Chains A and B, each alone.
Chain A
Amino acid sequence: MMKHLVKGMIVSTVLATIAAGHALADDPVRGGTLITVLGSNPRTLNGAVQSGIVTGYPTAQLFASPLRYDEDWTPQPYLAESWDVSDDGLTVTLNLVKNAVFHDGQPVTSADIAFSVEVIKANHPFKTMFAPVETVETPDEHTAVLKLSRPHPALMLAMSGQLMSILPRHIYGDGPIEAVKTHPRNNENVVGSGPFKLVEFKNGEHVILERFDDFFIEGRPYLDKIVMRIIPDIAARTIAYENGELHMGAFESNPQMVNRLKKVDGLEVTPEGYGAIGPLDWLAMNTQRGPLKDVRVRKAIAYAVDKNFIQKALMQGTAADSRTGIHPDSPFYFREVEIYDVDLEKANSLLDEAGFPMQDGKRFDLTIDFGWPGVKPQVEYVRAALKKIGIAVEVRASADFPTWAKRMGEMDFDMSWDTVFNWGDPVIGVHRTYVSDNVGKGVWSNTQGYANSRVDEILALAAVESDAEKRKALYQEFQTIIADELPVYHTNTLPYHTIYSGKVGNPPLGIWGTSTPIDMTYLKD
């Protein structure tokens, strides 16, 4: 028996080698096991009830979504072979592919789309994604019609990547909608219609997926298996990449790791592919507390904090400049806003003007918080930089991430270092930081207490504007105001990098990182 098995393996390897020999360099090859990595343990594999990049990678493989995006931000057919948005923007019709089936063999129907929208509305933390969707009509098995209360251009991106996992109603619909959040099959026996199905999820160790043979796109996926090892320690991951134990990993932002791996032969390291994730680093300032209420004080701080130092020295050249709340890779990014090149004289005169004269080398005290050890250098830098203009900054350490998150959520801080994601459309990830009706609603809400009625107005208009150019103009005005009023000082993008070995063909470098199906990725032999 064993002998036959071994023989079989040899034969298939030989065949694969021959097949590969014939293939052109760029021709995808079937087969192989891709070893990849997750930086922490996913709380769930079901992206319909949970956000986050660690959930995003497995969920996008297990569950298909209606759309996918290419690297130029153009929507592409996926579960929906075509779609149509009515002229008034209030009706979005999805025409589903006919041959899509779930991993248990049941067909994917419009009823599953309707069910999934309900689940996401009830359980997903990003409430703005589907808030305007009032009902989903299902005129036939392969047509789903989303009825909106107002035009919602963000819907397109919200139907892609990890944001809209289509769940089988016959599996997850066995209880109340809210109960899907803790459904036992979110972590085991997961059933989706994505290119890979779950073999095993072992907490803290690995997630193993294998090819779904009845995937609705003919000939895909190319890989037979994906192993996602869970390695939280940065040094351990670095060594694993170096030793060739990992074929690929995404969302790596540690500058030391990135710069070290760039020098390793046979490894590719690229910051491409995170436009829709849109991770931004910034200095948050509580606009409702003490001296920071005064915009002149906030500007003085911006003039004293040297972005260039943060990007070049602290991030060691791995991070790009960012100037507004929208990620530079987004089509809505507007870079011609007010910038604050270091100017201590200007900073000092702004503070004098604001009524904080220098007395014995000091003007006033502020505190600064940080939520995780990786950004402690930034916080220490701000402290040193602001001392030069007479602001004595005390660094407050938080015992753990929840402590910091609570302080932020309750707006119990003066300044803090923060990292926030755009999550595709600005409506999903950008508005939350600046609209006044989202003040103090937990971490990553409008924790700065920023309120500007014009900004509220612009963002409300941009949320429903279907015309791309007009929308762009609205976001342009928004970004100009934000850069002038500085509820947060935007310093840099968080430098997410994808690391992959030369053996990996077609790594996911679109806009969603690995939070997208990797059915086109293959292993060169």
Chain B
Amino acid sequence: MSNEVMTTVRARSPLAEAWDMFVRNHAAVAALIVLFLITIGAVAGPYLYPTDPFDMVWSPFSPPGEHGFLLGTDYLGRDLLAMIINGARVSLLIGLAAAMVSIFIGVTIGAVAGFYRGWVEEVLMRTTEFFQVLPTLLFSMVLVALFGASLAMITFAIGVVSWTAVARITRAEFLRIRELEFVIASRASGAGNAKLMFTVILPNAMPPIIVQSALMVGTAILFEAGLSFLGLTDPNVVSWGQIIGSNRQYILDASYTVTFPGLAIFITVLCISLIGDGLNDALNPKLRQR
């Protein structure tokens, strides 16, 4: 980036320009602030509110706001607030990590396919299509069921079923950019394939990938919640989906035990979507003329 800043001395930095565009989307800014607060809560929360989420601290099903428990207690008498705070960490972490896994797979495959074309592209894109038609939730359930419900496995299972969109976007960008003059110029001045792919084309293909990735974090959080809801989760860590999943049979007696973690998921995923929307505004060059 610093290189680019140097070369575009007179124009405004593209980053600043993008930020301007982003700030114009008020919803996205609000979402960014909320998500920032949630992240702070996830990181610092366990120190500020040190109740162990697995400790039974009170009698079961104490309603919210009574006996000093802001969100009440669940079926084992565990503090729901402590569970949600600790669950934020896991849910966000899985969301981020899974998105990273799928971006890594997707970008690699998309870049190679779009750059080399020919039979390489054929093979890779048919593979992508194969993964695309697999029912994603079922496939990840099978993976988790086969290899055990550890956090790493769940992250991997989510990542491995959701990379196809990234791969296709990356390939499309590569197909477009590889024919542009500056790429041809770099090639003519002797840049190798790897250099062309990762330092010439990829940075220019990034905007749509970034938007897609932001959205993917939200999807991954939802995905994890879905798996947890079905019981495919590491029982030794708390996540929002897991709180909902294990409390769902008490929904008629104590609906708040699923409402609060549900709200947490809802707000977080909404924020991420809004931010993704804002990023789209900011990074899409076609909108700049608006």
Contacts and interface: CB of A to CB of B under 8 A. Distances in A.
Given A256-B249, A313-B59, A313-B60, A377 B235 contact: no
Which range contains the number of A residues in contact with the other chain?
A: 20 to 34
Nearest to A399: B145
A399 B56 CA distance: 26
Contacts of B148: 397, 399
Given A313-B75, A314-B75, A381 B56 contact: yes
Given A314-B75, A373-B231, A400-B145, A395 B249 contact: no
Contacts of A377: 75-76, 246
A254 B249 CA distance: 10
Contacts of B253: 256
A383 B54 contact: yes
Nearest to B56: A384
A4 interface: no
Given A395-B235, A399-B145, A387 B76 contact: no
A384 B252 contact: no
B129 to A, nearest CB: 28
B146 interface: yes
B246 A397 contact: no
A300 B11 CA distance: 74
Contact of A384 (B54, B144, B231, B234): B54
A196 B249 CA distance: 37
B55 A397 contact: no
Interface in B11-66: 54-56, 59-60
B262 interface: no
Interface string B129-173: 000000000000000111011000000000000000000000000
B78 interface: yes
Contacts of A383: 54
B190 to A, nearest CB: 54
A381 B234 contact: no
A195 to B, nearest CB: 37
A70 interface: no
Given A314-B75, A377-B246, A384 B55 contact: yes
Interface in A336-385: 373, 376-377, 379-381, 383-385
Contacts of A260: 252
Contacts of A394: 236
B207 interface: no
B77 interface: yes
Interface string B240-274: 00000010011011000000000000000000000
A523 B102 CA distance: 61
A376 B232 CA distance: 12
B233 interface: yes
B191 to A, nearest CB: 49
Given A256-B253, A313-B60, A383-B54, A376 B246 contact: yes
Contacts of B149: 397, 399
A387 B145 contact: no
Given A256-B253, A387-B55, A397 B233 contact: yes
Contact of B76 (A256, A381, A400): A381
Residue among B56, B75, B145 with the most chain A CB within 10 A? B56
Contacts of B246: 376-377, 380
A371 to B, nearest CB: 12
Contacts of B75: 313-314, 377
A313 B235 contact: no
Nearest to B250: A256
A273 B208 CA distance: 66
A400 B231 CA distance: 10
Nearest to B247: A377
Contacts of B59: 313
B52 to A, nearest CB: 8
A376 B250 CA distance: 13
A397 B250 CA distance: 21
A199 to B, nearest CB: 35
Contacts of B55: 384, 387
A238 to B, nearest CB: 10
Contacts of B144: 399
Interface string A28-40: 0000000000000
Nearest to B235: A395
A511 B185 CA distance: 88
Contacts of B54: 380, 383-384, 387
Given A313-B59, A379-B235, A380-B235, A399 B146 contact: yes
A376 B249 CA distance: 12
A397 B76 contact: no
A256 B56 contact: no
B76 A395 contact: no
Interface in B168-188: none
Contacts of A376: 231, 235, 246
A397 B234 contact: yes
Interface of B: 54-56, 59-60, 75-78, 144-146, 148-149, 231-236, 246, 249-250, 252-253
The 10 A-B residue pairs with the shortest CB-CB distance in the complex, in nearest-first order: A399-B145, A395-B235, A384-B56, A313-B60, A397-B149, A373-B231, A397-B235, A395-B236, A256-B249, A384-B54
Given A377-B76, A397-B232, 15 more contacts: A256-B252, A313-B60, A313-B76, A314-B75, A376-B246, A377-B246, A380-B235, A380-B246, A383-B54, A384-B55, A384-B76, A395-B235, A396-B235, A397-B149, A399-B146
11 contacts: A234-B249, A256-B250, A313-B75, A313-B77, A380-B76, A384-B56, A384-B78, A395-B235, A395-B236, A399-B145, A399-B146
